[in-house]
Chain A
Amino acid sequence: MWRLFGLFIIFSSTVIAQNKPLLFNVDDLPQTLMSNPGAQINFTGHVGVPLFSQIHLSAGSTGADLYDVFADDGTNINARIQRTMRDMDSRDYFSVNQQWEIISLGWKLDRKNYLSTGIYQEMDAFVYFPKDPAILANEGNSDYLNEPFYFDDVSFTGEILTVYHLGINHKFDKRLTVGARAKFYSGIFNAESTGNTGRFTTYTTPNGRNVYRHEVVDMDVLINTSGFAPLKDEEGMTVEQATAELLSRSFFGGNVGFGLDLGFSYILDEQFILSGSVQDLGAVFQRKDVENYRYFGAYETSGLEPLFPDLDENDEAIPYWDIFEDEVDRNLRDRTTNQSYTTWRPVKANFAMEYGFGPAFLPCHYLSAKKVRYMNLLGMQLSGVKRPKGFVYALTAYWDRKINENQRFKISYSLDDYSLTNIGLMYTRTFNKFNIYMAANNLLAFPNLAKAHSASIQLGMQLIFNN
């Protein structure tokens, strides 16, 4: 057992995760196949209610919440913003993820194979707090003499895309189930800026020619966009036209990419189950409507230097400012290009170990190889998402309880960057074959979302067949 635990920890330290832990390993719900194509499942077919089989929203901020900024406590809002910005660091981040399942269906091919397919739309934005540029804009350089402002802090990714997918879940033997899902991405919009460099410093120069020396060193900031240029160039475009333009890219009209999900579940003995998955191993090739904005160079100055030339009244003064501007433009440059680029999808990984107790026999079905299920599952799950500055992890402990054949709930406690009190709850109920489910994280924060660092919700409805 301890070896197993050790293996779990070692494996956990190398994996990365997802943002819907409450739907992971829920063998009654087809959505579990979206986070682990190799999950154990307990149904023989499903058809999602179009547009309503899954609506997922999550948002989070590690450094600040609404209350930090908008507290109704009589203090000055700008002072609170300043304090909040100072408290945050450049590894704090804001994230928004939204998924909307448009079509979802699946069926058992035979006793061992389950095929599932569908289409969903996803929006994902992840922005690190650009601390140094934000402080420079809000406070200026006066209180930060001799301290560099790093452009490296500018780091963000954002994308909107439609995903077409086809997955197979294969029961290899009594113990092992594996699965894979191929994905075709149709990009609607993308913007990213990562790996930037450079710093701006105002040095005091007691022995220098002026009071200060302003210095920009090693600046190289690149912002890639796709799908943005046509919207920007089209003057007078209405919201409806812009929406139509974006939607047209959903259907193979935009930038395309390919990805893969892989997963497994393995029954160690009757009661211990290991499972893991990797999602979105893939990339989108941004080739259409691409614009890249690059700012680069180095420069230093201590001011303009008049030369006191011997001019008479009719002579033109020396254009010091124009000379200065030309020099700045030669050394600090910006360039707009249309070079294709590739964006890697934020890879997610999950690893879970669960222990079942309270066995119950499943109804006999010729397509179903699974005979026993457990009414209670206690589990630990490590999940993570690859982001520009590293993996973002969450560790979740959960109790998954089947109340009866038609109802089930899962209660979880997660440790993540957002909160130490993240309690989640999932509830699913099936009326004959019609299933509805709802899951929400960080429930303790719901009574006052202003003080919440994160919240997420998933809900949906579908037909699930198991006989």
Chain B
Amino acid sequence: MKFFSFFLTKFTSLIAISCLLSGCVKDIDLDQREDISLSPDLQIDLLIYEIDQSQFEDPATGNLKTRISDTVRLEFLDDDYIQEDLMAVNFYFRHINTFPRPIDSKIRFLSKSNREQFAINYTIQPGASGNPITTEQYELIEEDRIGVVRRSIKMVVELEVQPGTSAFEGGLEFASKGFFSFEF
């Protein structure tokens, strides 16, 4: 019995002490914490509009106004997460046109001092009533050019109707989004 007690005592102590003293962390490298980053990819809608020929009418004369534009401030472009952590943006623009004429689309991004940072220009293909034509445009801005987005605060959308003989009647739908890649 004494031997049993002795054995149990020593065995218990040995197990407990060896387990607790050997308590350590192995096979890991905590220095890797420096490399931890969040890298979300966000799909964000930007601007939308849906216009018809009335938008191209000069209110004073009633004549066709071939060029219209509007400016939208995108205040979020000035936020810290854009200024410090934005790595790339892929813009997508889509027009669905039933006007029978081509329309030049110019999308410009301006700084606070209205200096143009970058622009995306393309021609919207003509459509017809009952036959809408879709024009899509992508603009990828990667890390080497991301400064142009960081410096931008305004998005200007301009439309210029190309000359033609057909009656200018129809509609134009615009959709746009940005695929923003961050690394925090």
Contact = CB atoms under 8 A, between A and B. Distances in A.
Interface of A: 66-67, 70-73, 76-78, 81, 136-143, 145, 202, 209-214, 301-310, 317-321, 325, 401, 403-404, 407, 409, 425, 427, 438, 440, 443-444, 446-451, 455, 457
B42 interface: yes
A449 B24 contact: yes
Given A209-B175, A304-B72, A305-B48, 17 more contacts: A70-B29, A71-B28, A76-B35, A142-B43, A142-B179, A210-B45, A210-B175, A303-B45, A305-B47, A306-B72, A306-B157, A308-B69, A309-B70, A317-B72, A321-B74, A401-B8, A446-B23
A209 B19 CA distance: 64
Interface string B74-112: 110000000000000000101000000000000000000
Contacts of A76: 35
Nearest to A213: B45
Contact of B46 (A78, A81, A304, A404): A304
Q: Which of B55, B69, B73 has the most C-beta atoms of chain A within 10 angstroms of its own C-beta? A: B73
12 contacts: A72-B32, A209-B175, A210-B177, A212-B45, A307-B49, A307-B70, A309-B70, A320-B72, A321-B72, A403-B9, A427-B16, A438-B20
A447 B28 contact: no
Contacts of B72: 304, 306, 317, 320-321
Contacts of B59: 310
Contacts of A72: 27-29, 32
B113 interface: no
A306 B46 CA distance: 11
Contacts of A325: 75
B183 to A, nearest CB: 9
Nearest to A309: B70
Contacts of B69: 308
A145 B73 CA distance: 27
A448 B70 contact: no
A202 B43 contact: yes
Contacts of A308: 49, 51, 55, 68-70
B49 A425 contact: no
A229 to B, nearest CB: 25
B41 interface: yes
Given A138-B40, A305-B49, A425 B16 contact: yes
B45 A145 contact: no
A132 B166 CA distance: 54
B40 A403 contact: no
A73 to B, nearest CB: 8
B32 A70 contact: yes
Nearest to B55: A308
A307 B42 CA distance: 26
Contacts of B20: 438, 440, 446, 457
Given A140-B40, A142-B43, A401-B8, A448 B24 contact: yes
Nearest to B7: A403
B42 A141 contact: yes
Contact of A66 (B19, B25, B49, B179): B25
